[in-house]
């Protein structure tokens, strides 16, 4: 891991008991081992479910191989840039999924590093998506570079402002960010449903009865860097997402802002004592967190998997903001970890929905649900640091300082 992660002493911070501090402790204790063990455990558990319900261990093993192939990961055995090759095509689609998940993962991770749980990535994603669609449709015929920039910047800023509401509420009246972001999620959900629904302001102007938006004009579409005629290619948003990973790392580890954000995440009281404006940093961290999710939404609208438009009926099935939680937790809220987490979940999502979707091994619909099970198990077990530490303790004598119940985890009280 090149990402050094939090630099303050994790043991001391853990005594203060904030969520970020506990995660930092786990990072020191488990290294890269914890997420790997969690993933393997989740895969084995879901494999047991598969084997038990299909009455065959062999079927379960083949199903996992199909997920692997379906995600295009078998591409490494015979690399080619020709999308007509099925493994290359599958890989390109996995990369599209990964692009979105990198950004929603970074969104959750950034808030975590400030000691906050941004569960509202889904709503912020919708805000970025809606704004990008609105501007992408309305300013047709602009200079493509200016148009794309306008859509991305506006979508990102709008989502930052949307998430900033939760930050302001937390900083001013102490409203818990989990509750406020859940509420903001559903408000964004229904407003987007209204905007794209029949009779809504952003609904398709040529087919008034179809609850789908207009297509983003060609001047606002992101160019593909890996594509072929008749295929959905991989757009340059992947590089924007990779750049965002670098920005995340630099922002957090090499700037005053990042130092203050992490300090507040470890221990708000100590940070305040050290002269850091805690309230300002809560709002700032939440807004930056929302910006990442909004960027994901904007990129998905301008390129990506939505075919340049979005429908009312697509909204309930969009889960990328929530999967970002699993991505960030698995990556232990570091830049590089989030990147790998996004790649794993991107592969799982595409591989199970589409790889198994065309196979005869198990019912296609089972596979998609299997991904939810794996995701749930990963989130459930990654949060159980005591269990993982216990396993770790039996290997290496590392004593966890007793948690002080008088100063409990900040991010958990609802």
By CB under 8 A, which span of 27-35, 183-191, 261-269, 300-308 interacts with another protein? 183-191
Asked whether 220 and 139 are in contact (CB, 8 A), the reply is yes
Identified binder of another protein from the candidate list 125, 345, 381, 392, rule CB under 8 A: 381
Identified binder of another protein from the candidate list 283, 298, 329, 361, rule CB under 8 A: 329
- Binding mask 191-230 vs another protein (x if CB under 8 A, - otherwise)? x-xx--xxxx------------------------------
Could you give the dihedral angle defined by the CA atoms of residues 376, 377, 382 and 388, in that order, rounded to the nearest 10 degrees?
A: 160
Q: Closest separation between CB of residue 182 and another protein, Å?
A: 5
* Secondary structure element (H or E) that encloses residue 203, with its range: none
Residue 97, number of CB atoms within 10 A of its CB: 25
By CB under 8 A, which span of 124-132, 170-178, 213-221, 261-269 interacts with another protein? 170-178
Residue 390, number of CB atoms within 10 A of its CB: 11
Look at residue 374 and give its three-state secondary structure.
helix
Which distant-in-sequence residues (6+ apart) come within 8 Å of 255 by Cβ? none
161 versus 379: smaller Cβ distance to another protein: 379
Residue 20, interface with another protein (CB under 8 A)? Answer: no
By CB under 8 A, which span of 6-14, 126-134, 237-245, 375-383 interacts with another protein? 375-383
Query: What sign for the dihedral angle of Cα 18, 325, 236, 131?
Result: negative
Q: Which of residues 52-111 bind another protein (CB under 8 A)?
A: 53
Q: How far apart are CA 292 and CA 156, in angstroms?
A: 7
Burial status of residue 305 (CB atoms within 10 A of its CB: 0-12, 13-18, 19 or more): middle
Burial status of residue 84 (CB atoms within 10 A of its CB: 0-12, 13-18, 19 or more): exposed
Identified binder of another protein from the candidate list 184, 283, 287, 348, rule CB under 8 A: 184
3 versus 385: smaller Cβ distance to another protein: 385
Identified binder of another protein from the candidate list 150, 153, 179, 270, rule CB under 8 A: 179
Name beta bridge partners: 311.
212
Residue 55, number of CB atoms within 10 A of its CB: 7
Residue 413, interface with another protein (CB under 8 A)? Answer: yes
76 versus 413: smaller Cβ distance to another protein: 413
Identified binder of another protein from the candidate list 176, 221, 332, 354, rule CB under 8 A: 176
Q: How far apart are CA 298 and CA 371, in angstroms?
A: 25
- Binding mask 263-302 vs another protein (x if CB under 8 A, - otherwise)? ----------------------------------------
Residue 365, interface with another protein (CB under 8 A)? Answer: yes
Residue 29, interface with another protein (CB under 8 A)? Answer: no
Identified binder of another protein from the candidate list 131, 245, 335, 374, rule CB under 8 A: 374
Identified binder of another protein from the candidate list 49, 86, 153, 210, rule CB under 8 A: 49
Token readout for 229 is 């005629």
Residue 190, interface with another protein (CB under 8 A)? Answer: yes
Name beta bridge partners: 234.
226
DSSP 64-104: HHHHHHHTTGGGGGS----TTSHHHHHHHHHHHHHHHHHHH
What letter does residue 48 receive in the DSSP assignment? Answer: H
Query: What sign for the dihedral angle of Cα 392, 393, 399, 400?
Result: positive
The count of chain residues that interact with another protein, using the rule CB under 8 A, is: 65
Q: How far apart are CA 178 and CA 373, in angstroms?
A: 23
CA neighbours closer than 13 Å in the CB half-sphere of residue 142: 18
By CB under 8 A, which span of 131-139, 221-229, 261-269, 401-409 interacts with another protein? 401-409
Name beta bridge partners: 212.
311
86 versus 183: smaller Cβ distance to another protein: 183
49 versus 242: smaller Cβ distance to another protein: 49
Q: Which of residues 109-138 bind another protein (CB under 8 A)?
A: 117, 119
Identified binder of another protein from the candidate list 182, 228, 242, 247, rule CB under 8 A: 182
Q: Where along the sequence are the contacts to another protein (CB under 8 A)? A: 19, 22, 49, 53, 117, 119, 169, 173, 175-176, 178-180, 182-184, 186-187, 189-191, 193-194, 197-200, 316, 322, 325-326, 329, 363, 365-366, 368-387, 402-403, 405-406, 408-409, 411-414
């Amino acid at each position: 891991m090149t990402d050094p992660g939090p630099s303050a002493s994790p043991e001391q911070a853990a005594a203060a008991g904030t969520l970020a501090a506990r995660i930092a402790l786990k990072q020191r204790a488990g290294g890269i081992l914890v997420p790997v063990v969690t993933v393997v455990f989740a895969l084995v558990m879901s494999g047991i479910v598969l084997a038990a319900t299909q009455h065959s261990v062999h079927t379960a093993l083949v199903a996992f191989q199909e997920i692997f192939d379906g995600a295009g990961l078998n591409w490494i055995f015979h690399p080619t840039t020709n999308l007509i090759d099925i493994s290359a095509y599958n890989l390109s689609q996995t990369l599209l999924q990964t692009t979105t998940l990198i950004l929603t993962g970074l969104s959750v991770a950034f808030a975590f590093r400030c000691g906050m749980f941004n569960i509202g990535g889904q709503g912020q994603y919708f805000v970025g998506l809606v704004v990008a669609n609105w501007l992408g449709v309305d300013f047709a015929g602009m200079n493509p570079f200016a148009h794309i920039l306008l859509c991305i910047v506006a979508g990102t800023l709008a989502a930052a402002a949307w998430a900033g509401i939760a930050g302001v509420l937390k900083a001013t009246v102490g409203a818990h960010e989990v509750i406020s972001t859940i509420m903001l999620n559903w408000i964004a959900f229904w407003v987007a449903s209204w905007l794209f629904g029949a009779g809504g302001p952003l609904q398709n102007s040529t087919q008034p009865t179809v609850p789908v938006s207009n297509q983003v004009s060609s001047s606002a579409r992101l160019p593909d860097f890996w594509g072929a005629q008749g295929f959905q290619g991989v757009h340059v948003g992947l590089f924007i997402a990779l750049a965002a990973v670098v920005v995340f790392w630099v922002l957090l580890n090499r700037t005053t802002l990042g130092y203050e954000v992490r300090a507040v995440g470890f221990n708000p009281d100590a940070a305040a004592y050290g002269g850091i404006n805690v309230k300002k940093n809560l709002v700032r961290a939440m807004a930056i967190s929302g910006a990442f999710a909004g960027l994901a939404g904007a990129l998905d609208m301008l390129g990506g998997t939505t075919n340049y438009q979005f429908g009312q009926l697509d909204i309930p099935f969009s889960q990328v903001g929530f999967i970002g939680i699993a991505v960030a937790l698995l990556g232990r809220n570091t830049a590089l970890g989030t990147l790998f987490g996004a790649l794993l979940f991107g592969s799982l999502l595409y591989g199970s929905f589409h790889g198994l979707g065309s196979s005869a091994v198990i019912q296609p619909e089972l596979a998609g649900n299997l991904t939810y099970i794996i995701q749930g198990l990963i989130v459930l077990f990654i949060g159980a640091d005591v269990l993982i530490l216990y396993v770790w303790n039996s290997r290496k004598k590392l004593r966890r300082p007793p948690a002080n119940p008088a100063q409990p985890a900040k991010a958990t009280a609802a």
